Amino acid sequence: MRGLSSSDVKSKKSLIYPIAIAGIVGLSLLSGKDNLSTDGLCPILPIKAPVSFLKDNSTVLSILHDKEFREKSAEKLAKAVQVDTVVFDSPPEPDENPEYWTKFLKFHQYLRDTFPTVHSTLKLDKVNTYGLVFTWEGTNPDLKPIMLTAHQDVVPVQQDSLGKWTHPPFEGYYDGEYLFGRGSCDCKNVLTAIMESLELLIAQDFKPERTVIAAFGMDEESGGLVGARHIGEFLEERYGVDGIYAIIDEGFPFSLEPQSGVFMATPLVSEKGMATIKSQLQTPGGHSSMPPDHTSIGMISELVYLLENNPFEPLLTSKNPTLNMLQCVATHFGDKLPPSYREAILKADYDTKSNQIVVDALQKDVATRYFIRTSQAVDIIKGGEKANALPEAVTLTVNHRIALESSIKEIVDRFMKYAKIVAVKYNLGLNLEGTPVIDSEGKFGILDVTLDGSKLEPVEPSPSDDTVWEYLAGVSRHLMHDLIKPDLEYDFVVTPMVMQANTDTARYHHLTKSIFRYSPSLGQMINFHSIDERLEFDAHLHLIAFFFEYLQTIDTPDAENQKL
């Protein structure tokens, strides 16, 4: 998963930050009434379990409770972590630099050794050499295939942080409760859970009606252009546009909402967009004893100042699943919220004052504000080589995660507005993607602005009012109520949510309208992309159990999609 830093999310245990803000003090009552209708808001969908669960549930129970299974599963994930599959930014195509990718051969051998029956039963296609597509052909060609996906690659470990790890990052240490290591949360856990569930189904002589696809890219952490993009093209050629039933990729687990104290599931049904804007300012060099009033570093710093002091405005609309999630809580657990805040949430999609109350609440915490606002992060600035030499070139890189209601064009236009202010003030030429905006002839320097090639527009939310969603939610509720917490005293709610980062699904939008970034499980995923990345192992077993039950439950024409 790319785009969320460890400072943004140290733990994936509690995803639903917005409701925590409900406890803020000083919200005024809007009308003093609490009789707002919640008809039709956030329906509780029926539990769905496979027929096998009623006949013989011994396998799924052993996944969750058998000590021997737990130890073997931990060993499988540990061995996956032990294989270094680090990728860096802008990886080359395999035919351009074969040596860069040879480390993945060892990972593929690990998969063959660890999951032999998947390899002997499913068809394996290698896409762009190192991308893996396993296909378990179904007996009913009229049913669209289900696609489970994860990525093989992991982010690098900073060398100067090695001494801060409790256990070496590629050791795969398991202490009986947590499994440590790079990729334990992001996302070799998902990959091995998919493979383990397939092995278990094969062992039970399961013969799917619906084709099952397991697709694993190898450069998700750098944008998916080498892996997932090619996999998407490969699968489109085979199944056509919108030829897939649904895609489930890595995402967040079940959450304990801190204010109300209730568990919820939030499949991520859309992604914010992404745009990285790079600027290079070139000015005359010279000796530091005779500097101009403003060096290139000073000028580019003023651009940073303008950008950071003019943040994007928040916007909460019905287009954003955040509103749906908030209204789910207000509908089903409203007694745990201040009455005024509950009322504001329920009226936020049509009442301006109510909407502003909710927006203001969300903006109070960095963990919640970017659900409804474009973010900008000044990530890289480089310039200068020596203390007594004026910098001749300075580069600035700003990353944006684009709100669902916005666009790449809006981001670029705003950036250029402030770049033009700096250019005019300091007599600079200004180019956008090589095209002059302010002519550079006779100017002190030139500011070149370019857009990184891995840009992504915001993603329209997947439907949450159709059969595909009904089965996803129903099996999620089965996992929670029947298997993880059978003594839960309230209805487990499943509600859509927006993802602030991006995954390989950005390369699969043409394959299906139903894409869910979702790892249904209950447990902590701590410090992904950071020191001591580790997974509470119960969560891994829950994920295996989900895939095992889900693939069986949707294996019927009754699950084919239609609007509810």
- Residues 471, 440 within the same domain: no
Give burial (CB, 10 Å; 0-12/13-18/19+) of 387.
exposed
- 108 annotated as ligand-binding: no
The answer on 166 and 120 residing in a single domain is yes
Q: What is the DSSP string of 130-153?
A: TEEEEEE--S-TTSPPEEEEEES-
pLDDT at position 30 is 38
Domain-ending residue, one of 424, 451, 478? 451
Please compute the mean of the pLDDT values over residues 94-122 and round it to a whole number: 98
Q: What mean pLDDT do residues 227-237 have?
A: 98
* pLDDT score at 301: 97
Per annotation, catalytic residue among 199, 220, 343, 457: 220
> Would you say 233 is a known binding-site residue?
no
The answer to whether 221 is a known ligand-binding residue is: yes
- DSSP string for residues in 410-437: HHHHHHHHHHHHHHHHTTEEEEETTEEE
Residue of 499, 546, 470 whose CA lies nearest to 246: 470
The pLDDT value given to residue 258: 63
Q: Are residues 388 and 477 in the same domain?
A: no
Read off the CATH number of the domain in which 537 is found.
3.40.630.10
**Residue given tokens 């909460």 in the structure block:** 316
Residue 26's pLDDT is 33
Q: What is the DSSP letter of 498?
A: E
Q: What is the mean pLDDT of residues 162-188?
A: 97
Catalytic residue, chosen from 153, 457, 504, 555, is: 153
Res 343: pLDDT: 95
| Residue 432 Cα to chain centre, angstroms | 30
> Is it the case that residue 536 has pLDDT exceeding 50?
yes
Q: Is residue 395 part of a domain?
A: yes
Together in a domain, 69 and 161: yes
Domain boundary among 451, 482, 506: 451
Q: Round to whole Å and give the CA distance between 203 and 335.
A: 47
The reply to whether 408 and 536 lie within a common domain is no
DSSP state at residue 35? -
> What number is the average pLDDT over the span 68-89?
97
Residues in contact with 292: Cβ distance below 8 Å, sequence separation at least 6, in sequence order: 283, 390, 444
- Identify whether residues 419 and 473 lie together within a single domain: no
330 and 447 share a domain? yes
| Residue 88 DSSP SS3 | coil
Residue 336: predicted pLDDT: 86
Token pair, residue 409, equals 């064009």
Torsion of CA 521, 256, 321, 556, to 10 degrees: 30
Distances (CA, A) of 501 to 1, 8, 21, 83, 522: 7, 11, 22, 25, 21
Burial 153-186 (b: 16+ CB within 10 A, else e): bbbebeeeeeeebebebbebbbeeebbbbbbbbb
Does 432 lie in the same domain as 465? no
What CA–CA distance (Å, rounded) separates 361 from 326? 12
* Owning domain of residue 442: 273-451
Q: E strands along 512-556, which residues?
A: 515-518, 525-526, 534-536
Any idea which residue has 């070799």 for tokens? Answer: 188
Is 220 noted as a catalytic residue in this protein?
yes
Name the amino acid, one letter, at 505.
T
User: Residue 442's domain is classified under what CATH number?
Assistant: 3.30.70.360
- Cα(331)–Cα(105) distance, integer angstroms: 51
- Residues 386-419: tens digit of each pLDDT: 999 999 999 999 999 999 999 999 999 999 999 9
The verdict on 409 and 494 lying in the same domain is no
- pLDDT over 90 at 367, yes or no: no
Q: Are 2 and 499 in contact (CB under 8 A)?
A: no
Say if strands 273-282 and 393-402 run parallel, antiparallel, or are unpaired. antiparallel
Asked if 537 contacts 408 with a C-beta cutoff of 8 angstroms, the reply is no
Domain count, the chain: 2
Catalytic site residue 491? no
How many residues are given for the chain?
Answer: 564
Structure tokens at 262: 């209730």
* Sequence-ordered list of residues with C-beta below 8 angstroms from that of 438, at least 6 positions apart, any chain: 420, 423, 424, 428, 429, 430
Same domain for 139 and 178: yes
**Looking at residue 17, what is its pLDDT?**
43
| Mean pLDDT on 111-128 | 98
Tally of helices (H runs) and strands (E runs) in the chain: 16, 20
151 marked as binding residue: yes
Least confidently predicted of 10-14, 205-209, 230-234, 401-405: 10-14
Residue 38 belongs to some domain of the structure:
no
pLDDT of residue 2: 60
Q: CA-based diameter of the chain, in Å?
A: 85
Q: Does 529 carry a binding-site annotation?
A: yes
Eight-class DSSP state of 445 = E
- Name the β-bridge partners of 378: 398
Give the pLDDT confidence score for residue 259 in this predicted structure: 61
Residue with tokens 């003023």: 302
Please say if the pLDDT value at position 150 is more than 70: yes
Q: Say what percent of the chain tops pLDDT 90.
A: 86
Residue 14 covered by a domain: no
Which has more pLDDT, 164 or 334? 164
CA distances to 271, 304, 421, 489 from 397, in Å: 22, 10, 18, 50
Would 537 be classed as within a structural domain? yes
Residue 34 pLDDT greater than 50, yes or no: no
pLDDT value, residue 38: 77
Average pLDDT over the chain, rounded to whole? 92
State the virtual CA torsion across 498, 504, 510, 515 in degrees, nearest 10: -40
